[in-house]
Amino acid sequence: MENMPAAYEYADYYASYVKLVPEGNMADILERQMKETVRKLSSLDENRSEYRYAPGKWSIKEVIGHITDTERIMSYRLLCIARGETISLPGYDENKYVEEAHFDSQTLKELLDHFACVRQSTIHLLKSLSDDALLRKGTANNTEVSARALLTIIAGHELHHRNIIQERYLQA
């Protein structure tokens, strides 16, 4: 996939994610991001990975878990829409998912391995899809979205949170 989605292919609240993603081959972008994120975060020790920059904020481990959960959900939406699903796909409560996952009880390595596994699955899915499948639209969380927009949202969501980790967690 080389072409970025048009603004009408996704809800306005995803625009901040989409604009973070550079032009180029999406499989290459996703692969490069995965390697950069794992490289950057794997050097943290366990104590640092449980750091919260303010009360009530997620730890670095929880952010990694959230990125992974969101990618898994968006990839499922991608699969459904690319295959022509016509029913509306549900939304999810990101805070509830993080709360129920107990990411801080897992090691940083386990969380990064999980993220890399989910990302590899997304890349394999992308490579299996035709251009027509990527242009298909469906409904997720009560909004219309194209399959290719979901890929860009996945990439932008990771970049968004990686930027937050850099600015609010690692600079502290």
Total-model pTM: 0.96
* Domains of the chain with CATH codes: 7-170 (1.20.120.450)
Walk along the chain (172 residues) and give the pLDDT tens digit of each residue: 567 999 999 999 999 999 999 999 999 999 999 999 999 999 999 999 999 999 999 999 999 999 999 999 999 999 999 999 999 999 999 999 999 999 999 999 999 999 999 999 999 999 999 999 999 999 999 999 999 999 999 999 999 999 999 999 998 6
Short-list 19, 118, 14, 132, CA closest to 75: 118
State both tokens at 121: 């699955």
Question: How far is the C-alpha of 5 from the C-alpha of 64, rounded, in Å?
Answer: 26
